[in-house]
Amino acid sequence: MTPFSYHRPTTIDEALNCAGAGSRFIAGGTNLVDLMKENIERPERLIDLSLLGMDQVQSTPEGGLLIGALVSNADLAWHPLIEQHYPLLSEAILAGASPQLRNMASTGGNLLQRTRCYYFYDTGTPCNKREPGTGCPARAGLNRIHAILGASDACVATHPSDMCVALAALEAVVHVQGLDGTRSIAFKDFHRLPGDAPQRDNQLAEGELITAIELPRAHFASHYRYLKIRDRASYAFALVSVAAALRLDGGRIQEARLALGGVAHKPWRDAAAEEALRGQLVCEALFTQVARSILQHAEPLAHNAFKVELAERAIVRALMEAAHRTQDTGDTP
């Protein structure tokens, strides 16, 4: 491990003034420490955020919630306001990692997870995400877990988070702060597709810090489902995941939200597909049609073509289970 200096500021301004080239912010460290151990991240300075507060969940005047960036994944998943008003988010968080990791991992840090692509983690192989311009061996190599949507010649990695798929469906907003002030980023714009700069996972500028995630007022506490398809029942990243949320009037869909994980460099939403569900009666045939429309532009690789059908089936299943979920028990018939 490369030697580094360590700073533990007590205010956000102090933390921002410590930041600069070669610096990394650290909260729970559940991803960054692993990357440092593997010699992928080599920060010259670690800035520990643990004394900055930012660990509360608060109601907003508009009827939503403001989640501090340092709220742990465990505390967020079990928070009464999340369970009551945003159970889709709770279900997604509890599908990820392990209890020990959820106790340590922070909300802001979850947004900044890096891909679990084999080649990214293997410093003995080239990787455009790790070293721009060296190539993407996953395109012609082992690519079973890789992207089928939104990839580029430079990168076919996927985003690993479960929480972020639900946040995308719930249309969260990311609040950030830098030396130049504060700004807000719509969640759909926060993560990037790889394009020709896959080393950039998100839209944060150098030295900017996530301070909070805001959830707008939502009406999806009754009909929701986070479905995660993976190789084993626990502690595994998604091959495909689906966050589905519906607002129903009788059997008719008033509003639909749908986001996919495990298929792209960022949580994947299709506005046209959501609009196609609006005003329609709950129907498996409709859900199948919508699922196929989302995957019509999929570009599978040699070893992950199975993901296309898997994603289609997962979308239909998630929507059906969301539609028939009961508010009181959360059970599906």
Q: Categorize the per-residue pLDDT at 326 as very low, low, confident or very high, splitting at 50, 70 and 90.
A: low
Task: List strands edge to edge, sheet with 45-48.
Answer: 5-7, 45-48, 23-26
Residues facing residue 247 across a β-bridge: 255
Task: Kindly list the structural domains of the chain, giving each domain's residue range(s) and its CATH number in brackets, ordered by start.
Answer: 1-52 (3.30.43.10), 223-323 (3.30.390.50)
> 132-181, pLDDT tens digit by residue?
999 999 999 999 999 999 999 999 999 999 999 999 999 999 999 999 99
For 91, phi then psi, to 5°, come to -65, -40
pLDDT above 70 coverage of the chain, percent? 97
- Tell me, what amino acid is at 268? W
Q: Categorize the per-residue pLDDT at 331 as very low, low, confident or very high, splitting at 50, 70 and 90.
A: very low
pLDDT of residue 2: 84
pLDDT of residue 333: 29
> 22-32, pLDDT tens digit by residue?
999 999 999 99
Mean pLDDT throughout 198-209? 97
What b/e sequence results for 191-216 when a residue is b if at least 16 CB atoms lie within 10 Å of its CB, and e otherwise?
A: bbbbeeebeebbebeebbbbbbbbbe
> 270-312, pLDDT tens digit by residue?
999 999 999 999 999 999 999 999 999 999 999 999 999 999 9
Q: Categorize the per-residue pLDDT at 332 as very low, low, confident or very high, splitting at 50, 70 and 90.
A: very low
pLDDT of residue 1: 62
Report d(CA 175, CA 285) in Å as an integer.
39
* Residue whose structure tokens are 């840090």: 109
Query: Is pLDDT at 4 greater than 90 in this prediction?
Result: yes
* Residue whose structure tokens are 């670690």: 46
pLDDT of residue 72: 98
> 44-84, pLDDT tens digit by residue?
999 999 999 999 999 999 999 999 999 999 999 999 999 99
**287 and 242 Cβ atoms separated by less than 8 Å:** no
Spatial neighbors of 24 by CB under 8 A, at least 6 apart, are: 32, 41, 43, 45, 46, 47
Report d(CA 256, CA 254) in Å as an integer.
7
What is this structure's pTM?
0.96
**33 and 71 Cβ atoms separated by less than 8 Å:** no
